Chains A and B, each alone.
Chain A
Amino acid sequence: MSAAALYSDAIRERWRQPRFRGEVSDATATAEDVNPLCGDRVRMTVRVRDGAVEAVRFTGDSCAICAASADVTAELSQGRQATEAARLSSEEVLTVLGTDVKPTRMRCVTLPISVLQQALKP
């Protein structure tokens, strides 16, 4: 079995060396949720100023796909308008991750996105 076969390079790289893991200082909102299928937990802290997402960080205990998705979700939303960031789609995240996932793992991708949306709720 080759290492490349299971997950994309982007997933493995983001999982090993996340760029957005941690907590935002002066966070204006926080959200947390779990994946009922596996018990994975993702927590996101965000700082929104004047309608713009200044910073996003995540913490949590999760599989490689979920961790990589959280990292990309944070990266893609940072700098956007909050209303726009709240519309972030799983397709966008998957494009950056350079992969498609099986239906049984889709919730691993969407959990961080829904946690971010919760945090950005007006």
Chain B
Amino acid sequence: MRLDELTRGDFPILDRIVNAHRLVYLDSAASSQRPWSVIEAMVQYETTSHANVHRSIHTLGEEATALYEQARDRVQRFIGAASREEVVLTRGTTDGLNLVASALGRTLAAGDEILITELEHHSNIVPWQMAARDRGAHVKAVPVRRDGQLDMDALDRLLGSRTRVVAFAHVSNVLGTILPVAEIAAKARRVGATVVVDGAQAAPHLPLDIAALGCDFYVFSSHKMLGPTGIGVLWGRRAALEALEPTRGGGEMIKEVWIDHARWNDLPWRFEPGTPPIAEAVGLTAAIEYLEKLGMEHVAEHERTLARLAVEQLSVIPGVTVYGPPASVERGAVVAFSVEGLHPHDVAALLDQEGIAVRAGHHCAQPLMHCFGITGTARASFSVYSSPEDISLLAHAVGTLRTRL
């Protein structure tokens, strides 16, 4: 049975009628939908067990703490982390990247270099600019080739003794390019750089084996992997996390506090000041359980098929340009495209009239748009519930767009 046939009934929102059409949701890379099991787990928590975590010595406090910490264990297993201490729960990918960038930023000296790539999301660009600006360091970027792949020769040329950090996406949120993480990480480590990977578009779609990737930090969000908004994961190699000085203080992240100083708590709580998103952690656990039940190998295979179908069907439409790797090359669950003579927002608005939800704009990747000489694209993206029929409906609608405005 196809994955979408297996899962469709689990996602209540997919019954929505939008503009008199059944919803065709092709914006999962922005935020995926949630299955009943996630919604119900959160309602169950809110209605039976909510209290603050870690310091509430009563029944509800014990239950809430156990549920919150259970999320950490599920994440650890899901990504293959060596220990639960390596799993920091954040507010999302952006939050995780800011945490790492601000903490690593403090260790930079004038003239140091942070190496990113041209295909990064703004959340893996701007925090590094801020970190660099404060220390007189520089942000450099590895160019992206027209076929959507990273220019690996340029990477070799750009890596040097001043390179302190190499930060890049596992999967491009626009081109769908899957970057060779292990290869880049190995090169970066050879010059002694810390390796930070933005896994926002990978964790929901590919089986992860963190240890095999060879990076120091890996971040992702819950809401792109069937879970709720407001929570995400920062995984750090233990030694890398231990070397990081916390940049945010508050309750929970300390062992002892005096008026003029404090002693930090153990990992991972050292990086989790304040009351965390508890119901969201419960939702994340349920989302991971749902994905594990399907099997990430199956998820990846399903979405690979959809991406290939979308590239094939869209690229033969006159006036349509598809960006990123060709259909023959494996890519993530996103396909960006443009329609000659139509602005991406008008494309999205026209498709919405048929109940088809796609993203349009620069996808928070303006430097990449500059590389391709465009202001934006439309983008279709997929999840476990997306179907070949969704792709056909999209391709058919896109095929008639140019006559419609």
Q: Interface residues, chain A, CB within 8 Å of chain B?
A: 1, 3, 5-7, 12, 15, 37-41, 61-65, 105, 108
Q: A3-B405, A38-B362 are in contact. List 5 more A-B contacts (CB 8 A).
A: A7-B349, A40-B345, A41-B375, A61-B343, A65-B346
A61 and B375 contact, CB distance less than 8 A: yes
B contact residues around A108 at 8 Å (CB): 345
Counting CB contacts under 8 A, is B228 at the interface? no
Assuming the A-B contacts A1-B354, A39-B366, are A6 and B375 also in contact, with contact meaning beta carbons closer than 8 angstroms in the complex?
A: no
Taking the closest CB of chain A, its distance from the CB of B23, in whole angstroms, is 16
B contact residues around A1 at 8 Å (CB): 350, 353-354, 397, 400, 404
A39 and B375 contact, CB distance less than 8 A: yes
Assuming the A-B contacts A38-B361, A38-B362, A63-B346, are A3 and B404 also in contact, with contact meaning beta carbons closer than 8 angstroms in the complex?
A: yes
B contact residues around A38 at 8 Å (CB): 344-345, 360-362, 375-376
B contact residues around A3 at 8 Å (CB): 403-405
CB-CB nearest in chain B for A38: B361
A63 and B345 contact, CB distance less than 8 A: yes
A contact residues around B376 at 8 Å (CB): 38-39
Q: How far is the CA of A12 from the CA of B349 in the complex (A)?
A: 13
Assuming the A-B contacts A38-B360, A38-B361, are A62 and B405 also in contact, with contact meaning beta carbons closer than 8 angstroms in the complex?
A: no
Counting CB contacts under 8 A, is B158 at the interface? no
Q: How far is the CA of A38 from the CA of B362 in the complex (A)?
A: 6
Q: Which of A39, A62, A105 contacts B369 (CB 8 A)?
A: A39
Assuming the A-B contacts A3-B405, A64-B343, A64-B405, are A40 and B375 also in contact, with contact meaning beta carbons closer than 8 angstroms in the complex?
A: yes
Q: How far is the CA of A105 from the CA of B350 in the complex (A)?
A: 13
B contact residues around A64 at 8 Å (CB): 343, 346, 405
Q: Mark B350-381, 1 if CB is under 8 A from A, else 0.
A: 10011000001110001001000001100000
CB-CB nearest in chain B for A37: B361
Taking the closest CB of chain B, its distance from the CB of A68, in whole angstroms, is 11
CB-CB nearest in chain A for B351: A1
